[in-house]
Amino acid sequence: MVIGYLQNSPHFGQKIENFAQIQLLAKGINANLLVLPELFATGYAFTSREEAADLAEISGGETTAFLSKLSAETGAVIVAGFAEKDGNQVFNSSIMIYGDSVIGIYRKIHLFNKEKIWFDPGNKPLEVHQINGMKIGMMICFDWLFPEVMRTLTLKGAQIIAHPANLVMPYCQSAMITRCLENRVFAVTANRIGRDIRGEDDFTFTGQSQITAFNGNILSSGHASKADSSTTDIDVHQADNKMINPFNDLINDRRENFYF
């Protein structure tokens, strides 16, 4: 299976320009799974909940249409972050798309910083989607700091974690080594680059998108400050074997009666 990321530099509110950036990065790529950053089309630093709501879309909106086209052109299942509107609610979501089909939507459950002003917290269970020979779970950015998320997706059968991100702290890329190692799953962290200076906020995003293997090996590491893309070929079934030696199975060895 060929899995990868597209790392762009969204300009706030400029969806058409941001689609064009992604289109350019995807040129010539054929893959089974491609992951795009969190909020790749809108940018990150909203100044109010109203502004987030104005840029948010329902599933089936123009961002969904763009991603369907991207899926058709690359042959890939696409996972990408978007601002999702559902009635009066606004979520920081990721969508999984294959061709014209929406395979699933995940609504970020651990909101970071002022996201608590801009968005509603996710209200749907963590899910794993089986598609084209892969079992894929989604999480978004700050979810990395809550090990329960990847553990839950692993217990639900995920082989690959698709992880759109807008990282501003320097720790996630290293932490993903442990997250993947402790769950024996693959992960694709698709981070953005660039800077959002809006209202009182000034965020610089750290790039270095990363494909991490089930054994903690880093299979690909993106540029820290330039747009980038990368794919790598993996044997997804390596994530099905949780044995690290003849005696230790990382899932079956858990001692649940000792944990909260």
Read off the tokens for 119.
């968005």
180 included as an active-site residue: no
Residue of 15, 57, 85, 108 marked active site: 108
Cα–Cα distances (Å) from 249 to 80, 160, 183, 243, 259, in that order, read 32, 18, 10, 4, 18
The smaller minimum CB distance to ligand ACM, of residues 143 and 228, is found at: 143
Separation between Cα atoms, residue 200 and residue 132, nearest integer Å: 44
CB of 168: closest distance to ligand ACM in angstroms? 5
CB of 56: closest distance to ligand ACM in angstroms? 16
Cβ contacts of 15-23, under 8 Å, gap ≥ 24 = 15/41, 15/42, 15/55, 15/62, 15/63, 18/42, 18/43, 19/66, 21/227, 22/66, 22/70, 23/70
Residue of 15, 84, 135, 141 marked active site: 141
The smaller minimum CB distance to ligand ACM, of residues 166 and 183, is found at: 166
- Asked if 204 contacts 4 with a C-beta cutoff of 8 angstroms, the reply is no
- Asked if 15 contacts 57 with a C-beta cutoff of 8 angstroms, the reply is no
Q: How far does Cα 88 stand from its chain's mean position?
A: 24
108 included as an active-site residue: yes
The smaller minimum CB distance to ligand ACM, of residues 7 and 32, is found at: 7
Residue numbers of the site for ligand ACM (CB under 6 A)?
38, 112, 141-142, 166-168
Residue of 38, 57, 84, 115 marked active site: 38
Q: If you search the block for the tokens 């700091």, which residue do you land on? A: 145
Length of the chain: 260
Query: If we measure between CA atoms, which residue out of 200, 199, 142 comes closest to residue 175?
Result: 142
The smaller minimum CB distance to ligand ACM, of residues 12 and 142, is found at: 142
The smaller minimum CB distance to ligand ACM, of residues 19 and 142, is found at: 142
Separation between Cα atoms, residue 39 and residue 61, nearest integer Å: 14
| Active site residue ranges | 38, 108, 141
